[in-house]
Structure 1
Amino acid sequence: MLACLFPGQGAQSAGFLHRLPPHPVVQTTIAEASDALSFDVLTIDTPGALRSSVAVQVGLVVAGVATARRIAAAGFDIALASGLSVGAYAAAVTAGAIAFADALRLVAKRAELMERAYPSGYGLSAIDGLTEHEVERLADAEAAEAGLRIYVANVNAPRQIVVTGSDAALDAFNTRALAAGAHRAKRLDVSVPSHCELLADASEELLAYAADIPLQAPRAVYVGNRTARPLRTAEAIRDDLATNMRYTVRWFDALTVIIELGATVLVEAPPGQVLTSIAQTAYPDVTALSACATPDERLIPLLERRLGSR
């Protein structure tokens, strides 16, 4: 059983849309996105353009949907789809819950609201080697001693936690985490305080905007961010997409559910490899492939060998 995984903001790198395979379905997807947004999406993966959260988030959705469509065009059935943070939008398109053009407009609005709320001075840090409980305890100490508030944004793995807050809070927390035994505490290439109550107002505004966007029950299984459970109705998926900026992403729980539902092959859409690495470490018996690290001419034959005849 095949599952597609879609990375979130921070996975981007300059030129990532230009590195997608030159397959007709990929080219059609890029053209469709450009038509929907009224600009050439191939202009948004330059180093300068990627300073904008709008460019990053739109680009990630385009890359994710193009990759899933390429895999489907080769005759493979994508049974499950899930995405980390903004990757959820590509997952919802792939699962058949929302039209591609509508997802693009919704994610562009999402990024605009996030940037407007916090245009600078905030971000994310990845903390490796500490549990969620240990991170929360350190965050409480940081708030009590220095008055700097840190929030748990993502639980990517049992000892890979992403935190969010102001630049000053993150810099101080990184130092505190390393002193407490973290193997790594590194700022990510994200300029907004994702997945915490700082974005509550923006989340409510996006939920109101999303009310008029048509969604339907998914054809494939869609596993959500907030609850890390399969969501089977249009309204549940609408809520997950519109509010995930406000709540902690339970990625490791979502990955575990995907495996429990029977996925035997996982493909991570470009430009990410982090989700592949997490899966390979946690579930070594499951085939986990990064599409950006596996050229198209190798990926399709690999899927054929792992999944059997199409």
Structure 2
Amino acid sequence: MTLALVFPGQGAQNPGFLHRLPEHDAVRETLDEASSALGLDALTLDTTDALRSTVAVQVAMTIAGVAVARALASEGLNAQFYAGLSVGAYPAAVSCGAVSFSDALRMVRKRAELMESAWPSGYGLAAISGLNETQIETLAAAHADDGHGRVYVANVNAPRQIVVAGSDAALDAFSTRALKTGARKAQRLAVTVPSHCKLLDDAAEQLIAGSKDMPFHAPRGVYVDNRGGRPLRTGDAIRDDLATNMRHTVRWFDALTLMVESDATVFVEAPPGEVLTDITRDHYPDVTALAAASLAPDRLASIVKRRLGDGA
């Protein structure tokens, strides 16, 4: 049995999620390290007020992912595969040894600041269920032609679960159009920036420049990228993935499929997410998918060990 650690993206956050991490020495040490690197108490980042900030959300999710990965590793549960959706790529890169935790925190904080300053209000993401990528692209072109504003395919989470980015007005009108065209559901996400599209080209260029001298290393195990759903084997390639993923469509389903086809059999999703677990269960029911956020924190390691041992 083979373990894959997967890390959710922005939108999965909820108040208090850092406070619900397992009571574990590795978690406490990670929180202390984050507080020192950031110059603030990491446990202040998950309040309702704090989570209105893109910066707080992305930094807090990075901390949560690294903390749980370290807790599992300290129990002998080292993954063979690491992948993260959007900002989840940062804890994935830390957990496979490609970049230090402190450097990742600095990089993700800068990423979030650039995203937030580029589009401080009036933009975001919406998830459309029931239509495929080609249908969404066709609708988006018609939507723009009709003068309703451009929306962009931001995430392909599953064949018929597509996230689009754009202005609030464009997303609201597009959601209505999609539902009339046959979508089962259209839902705004708790994200206030237009992630993973050309609207963040300039921000990505600034992050590339700011991270070019940051040390990266070849990963332990397999790091799977956001953009193409493929394994990256060098530190330079992982640096480029992290620095540029804000402007490229996230092809999560391709990443998931690669891991399954490469014999990953047990998937553990870091807190606070459960969506990646649901996608895995829906499309690959023969593998085991566990959301750490839905399990008793003190039983997480024992449950993962049992699933790896018996394949149940």
Shorter-chain TM-score above 0.5: yes
| CA–CA distance in structure 2, aligned partners of residues 178 and 258 of structure 1 | 32
Which secondary structure does the structure 1 equivalent of 2:199 belong to? helix
1:65 aligned residue? 66
User: Does structure 1 retain, via aligned residues, the 8 Å contact 2:22–2:297?
Assistant: yes
Question: What is the CA-CA distance between 1:213 and the residue it aligns to?
Answer: 0.8
The normalised TM-score by structure 2 is 0.98
Q: How does 1:10-159 map to 2 (within 5 A)?
A: 10-159=11-160
Which secondary structure does the structure 2 equivalent of 1:281 belong to? helix
* Unaligned ranges ≥5, structure 1: none
Which secondary structure does the structure 2 equivalent of 1:161 belong to? strand
1:289 aligned residue? 290
- Partner amino acid, structure 2, of 1:240: D
Question: What is the CA-CA distance between 1:147 and the residue it aligns to?
Answer: 4.3
Question: What is the CA-CA distance between 1:300 and the residue it aligns to?
Answer: 1.8
| CA–CA distance in structure 2, aligned partners of residues 272 and 202 of structure 1 | 26
2:7 aligned residue? 6
- Partner amino acid, structure 1, of 2:169: A
User: Does structure 2 retain, via aligned residues, the 8 Å contact 1:96–1:220?
Assistant: no
* Unaligned ranges ≥5, structure 2: none
User: Does structure 2 retain, via aligned residues, the 8 Å contact 1:97–1:216?
Assistant: yes
1:166 aligned residue? 167
Deviations 1:242-282 (A, max 9, x none): 00000000000000001111111000000000000000001
Deviations 1:25-48 (A, max 9, x none): 100000000001111110010111
- Partner amino acid, structure 2, of 1:304: K
1:267 aligned residue? 268
Question: What is the CA-CA distance between 1:304 and the residue it aligns to?
Answer: 1.7
| CA–CA distance in structure 1, aligned partners of residues 304 and 18 of structure 2 | 22
2:200 aligned residue? 199
| CA–CA distance in structure 1, aligned partners of residues 70 and 191 of structure 2 | 27
| CA–CA distance in structure 1, aligned partners of residues 86 and 124 of structure 2 | 14
Query: Is residue 2:256 matched to residue 1:255?
Result: yes
Query: Is residue 2:258 matched to residue 1:229?
Result: no
- Partner amino acid, structure 2, of 1:151: Y
Question: What is the CA-CA distance between 1:77 and the residue it aligns to?
Answer: 1.9
Which secondary structure does the structure 1 equivalent of 2:13 belong to? coil
User: Does structure 2 retain, via aligned residues, the 8 Å contact 1:158–1:252?
Assistant: yes
Aligned pair count?
309
Which secondary structure does the structure 1 equivalent of 2:289 belong to? strand
The normalised TM-score by structure 1 is 0.98
Deviations 1:171-192 (A, max 9, x none): 0001000000111101000000
